[in-house]
Amino acid sequence: MKQLSKYPADKIKNIVVTGHGNAGKTSLVEAMLFISGATDRMGKTSDGTAVCDFDPEEIKRKCSVSAAVAPVEWKNVKFNMIDVPGLFDFEGAVAEGFRAADCALITISGKSGVAVGSEKAYAKANKEGMAKIIFVNKLNSESADFYKVFEQLKTAFGPTVSPIVVPHMNGHQVDCYINLLEYKAYRYNGTKAEEVPMPDMGHRLEGLRTAISEAIAETDDELMEKYFSGEDFTPEEYILGLTQGVRSGSITPVYCGATSTGEGVDQLMNGMSWLVPSAADSTPEVGADANGTPVELAVSDSALPAAVIFKTVADPFVGKLSYFKVVTGKITPDSMLMNMRTGSTDKIGKLYIPFGKKQIDADCIGAGDIGAVAKLSGAVTGDTLCAPARPVTLDGVSYPAPSLSMAVLPVNKGDEEKIAQGLIRLSEEDPSMHFGNNTETNQMIVSGQGEQHIDVIISKLKNKFGTDAKVEKPRIAYRETIRGKVEIQGRYKKQSGGHGQFGDVWIRFEPCDSDGLEFAEEVVGGAVPKNFFPAVEKGLQDCMKTGSLAGYPMVGVKATLYDGSYHPVDSSEMSFKTAASLAFKNGIPKASPVLLEPVGELHAYVPNDNMGDVMGELNKRRGRVLGMNSAADGLQELIAEVPEGEMADFATYMRQTTRGRGYFTFDFARYEEAPFAVLQELTKDKE
């Protein structure tokens, strides 16, 4: 593999390639690698040969499911291209890519235009204060329409969208690409560009150049004055204004082409080499020292090192591979760095530059660059590694909360432990998934961003750790309690020759506010000796584990032992324990038992157009709407209480109804009495 050159921070540009699914993000990186000479042919996602789609799951599904890094060298600049998934189920990987980047390259299909994923990528880049570049792809398709897409871009993102390279059409095909800054036209034969005479585009060309001038004028008062006076900008002013505008976020340049053939990609890379802010140009990161005081970290090789781990790969053979971005200083194989989360100090060891699934040996990773290290003990995604002489904690990765939970069952008996260990390892690799044991339902629960996310997790469990598993809808942790009061006798007498068994209790059962059993005694006159009280309570506690309605644990029961009798020879702890259980089994069905179901508080963030549909759906799910508020990104927050048993497929419903724009959080609130229909459904198989 070609050895990469070393670059200073002002020649390193970290770029996350993002956008809607199937817009051609991975193929764009593939074209860049080929055109720059990093690879000798363009791989394809469809045939499993793409550099950034190397995971077996990506090859099988023909789409990205994790973030991948590939460096591209172009005109003495190093682009660290971070390819992230477009499918909403893998937003955790998107968060990792954005954490390591300083600029977002948003890829948009020239056929389908601006989609939900495009809008979310643009909004996320704005939220992170990143520079943005748009590449309109797939213009070699007859159904593509650049100018229709460009109007969509202006409608969605405003006048900051500025065309730089546009196509000249001959019928439904691109005849050539026009660089509006150079005022030159290029025709492509594959990836090779040849300059051709400027075609006649009439008023459209001047209108596009005017759009650039207006955007540039907004970046500087002097340029604004010059624009209104009717003077043309010099080439230097165009470059300066565009550069300042892109770095401040006030201008989003638009390029175009076709990544399957490589058309226009060289012009995109030319623009990126001077438009995109370098690691040195980006806003300095602010961390916190050991006392929590903010500390600004300048991007400098001479400073003490500090880096953040933004991605982890769990490999059962190679071990753990940690991807990191050096925020300041430089890291060498003999560096001693402290993990601020664990407090431990470790020697780094062998360093790598990630290149898809391969790693290139490196003797140093400088400030602003991205590297990887294997077998870094105890380190997880989001950890800060820094010099012990200057402790500092950097922001980690902000992952979305899981929205779908499923129970995991072994295909083969006895594999529970292997499944648990495998899922723990996978949760280190993908912190957007959660794994745990529900002790009440005795199920292993895995939670993720959606059905495809969980499907990938189960598939990786088999491929990486050799363990077959399946998923099903998790059981709900129902409870049972009583609403009435009853006094009942429990009498146990057994005589079969010799020493017998005798226990006799009178117990009052009534509801109370407790998480289990509240035991009391009011025995007078020694009707039941005190030494048998613990046995009575133990018998009742054992019975509380299984209610009389559907066999769920009981809560909120007060049991008062108030009378009974005993035999001086035949009475024992076991006989009184048995007598108490008989009283429980006979008395609870007469105390108006009811089923309790867990109810959670839902915060759903929904586009206004979908609010009526979501509210109607919540009514079907027995939800109670509590209120509405305005939320970020033009969404409405809907607050409701919904039974947990009705939420199993709500994530899928929200994804489909809002086309991926909406999201929600759901947290347990309390237990409430369940309708009789729920009890009937739970007990119908037992009848």
pLDDT digits (tens, 9 = 90+) for 166-178: 999 888 899 999 9
**Coil, helix or strand for 618?**
helix
Based on the fold, state whether residues 95 and 167 are members of the same structural domain: yes
In which band, very low, low, confident or very high, does the pLDDT at 317 lie, cut at 50, 70 and 90?
A: low
* Strand duo 358-362 + 184-189: pairing: unpaired
Burial 363-402 (b: 16+ CB within 10 A, else e): eebbbbbbbbbbebeebbbbbbbbbeebbbbbebbebeeb
**Torsion, CA 380, CA 351, CA 86, CA 211, rounded to 10:** 120
Mean pLDDT over 51-72 rounds to 93
Q: Is the pLDDT of residue 687 over 70?
A: no
Q: What's the longest Cα–Cα distance across the chain? A: 118
- Whether 239 is in a domain gets the answer yes
- The pLDDT value given to residue 560: 96
**H/E run at residue 406:** strand 404-410
With contact defined as beta carbons under 8 Å apart, do 492 and 535 qualify? Answer: no
Q: Is the pLDDT of residue 369 over 70?
A: yes
- Asked, for residue 521, whether it belongs to a domain, the answer is yes
Q: How high is the pLDDT of residue 316?
A: 65
From 370, 393, 416, the end of a domain falls on 393
Are 579 and 613 within one domain? no
The residue segments making up the domain with residue 503 are: 480-591
Mean pLDDT of 557-583: 93
The verdict on residue 280 lying in a domain is: no
CATH code for the domain of 328: 2.40.30.10
Flag whether 198 is in a domain: yes
182, 165 Cβ separation under 8 angstroms: no
pLDDT one-digit tens code per residue, 419-470: 999 999 899 899 999 999 998 889 999 999 999 999 999 999 999 889 999 9
Quote helix, strand, coil % in the chain, to nearest 5: 30, 35, 35
C-alpha–C-alpha distance, residues 597 and 687, integer Å: 21
Domain shared by 270 and 299, yes or no = no
Alpha-carbon gap, residue 304 to 332, rounded angstroms? 12
The last residue of a domain, from among 553, 574, 591: 591
Same domain, residue pair 291 and 271: no
* 105 and 156, same domain (yes or no): yes
Q: Which residue has the higher pLDDT, 418 or 201?
A: 418
Looking at the structure, tell me whether residues 629 and 677 fall in a common domain: yes
Long-range contacts of 380-383 (CB under 8 A, 24+ apart): 380/309, 380/312, 380/341, 380/428, 380/431, 381/96, 381/309, 381/310, 381/311, 381/312, 381/322, 381/428, 381/431, 382/308, 382/309, 382/310, 382/341, 382/431, 383/308, 383/309, 383/339, 383/340, 383/341, 383/342
Assign residue 215 the CATH number of its domain: 3.40.50.300
Q: What percent of the chain has pLDDT over 90?
A: 78
Following DSSP, what letter does each residue of 261-272 receive, concatenated? Answer: TTBTHHHHHHHH
The domain that holds 484 is classified in CATH as 3.30.230.10
C-alpha span between 373 and 339 (Å, rounded): 14
Minimum mean pLDDT range among 38-47, 173-182, 214-223: 214-223
The amino acid present at 597, given as its one-letter code, is E
Give me the pLDDT at residue 570, please: 85
Tally of CB atoms within 10 A around 474: 19
Around Cβ 270, how many Cβ atoms within 10 Å?
A: 18
The answer on pLDDT for 591 being more than 70 is: yes
pTM for this model (two decimals): 0.89
Same domain, 154 and 231: yes
| Domain's final residue, options 275, 301, 318 | 275
Our count of domains for the chain comes to: 5
Asked if residue 107 and residue 170 are part of one domain, the reply reads yes
pLDDT the model gives residue 234 = 79
pLDDT of residue 318: 66
Per residue in 465-519, pLDDT (tens digit) is: 899 999 999 999 999 999 999 999 999 998 766 678 999 999 999 999 998 999 9
Measured CA angle at 628 (ends 627, 633), to 5 deg: 155
Q: What does the pLDDT read at residue 2?
A: 57
Judge whether 80 and 12 are in contact, CB under 8 Å: yes
Q: Is residue 182 assigned to a domain?
A: yes
Q: For residue 585, what pLDDT is reported?
A: 96
Question: Is 204 a domain residue?
Answer: yes
Q: Which residue has the higher pLDDT, 221 or 538?
A: 538
Share of the chain above pLDDT 70, in %: 98
The two three-digit tokens of residue 304, written as one number: 């003490």
> Could you say which DSSP state residue 397 is in?
-
More confident residue, 241 or 489: 489
Give the pLDDT score at 497: 64
Residue 3: pLDDT band (50, 70, 90) is low
Amino acid symbol at 585? K
- Of 180 and 237, the structure prediction assigns the larger pLDDT to 180
Q: Are residues 94 and 169 in the same domain?
A: yes
Provide the pLDDT confidence category of residue 685 given band limits of 50, 70 and 90: low
131 and 253 in a common domain: yes
Residues 34 and 119 in one domain: yes
Domain presence at residue 152: yes
Does residue 500 fall inside a structural domain?
yes
Q: Which two tokens stand for residue 618?
A: 């919540």
Higher model confidence: residue 610 or residue 684? 610
**Minimum mean pLDDT among 105-109, 372-376, 488-492, 681-685: which range?**
681-685
Q: Are residues 173 and 48 in the same domain?
A: yes
Q: What Rg value do the Cα atoms of the chain yield, rounded?
A: 33
630-664 per-position pLDDT tens digit = 988 889 999 999 999 999 899 999 999 999 999 99
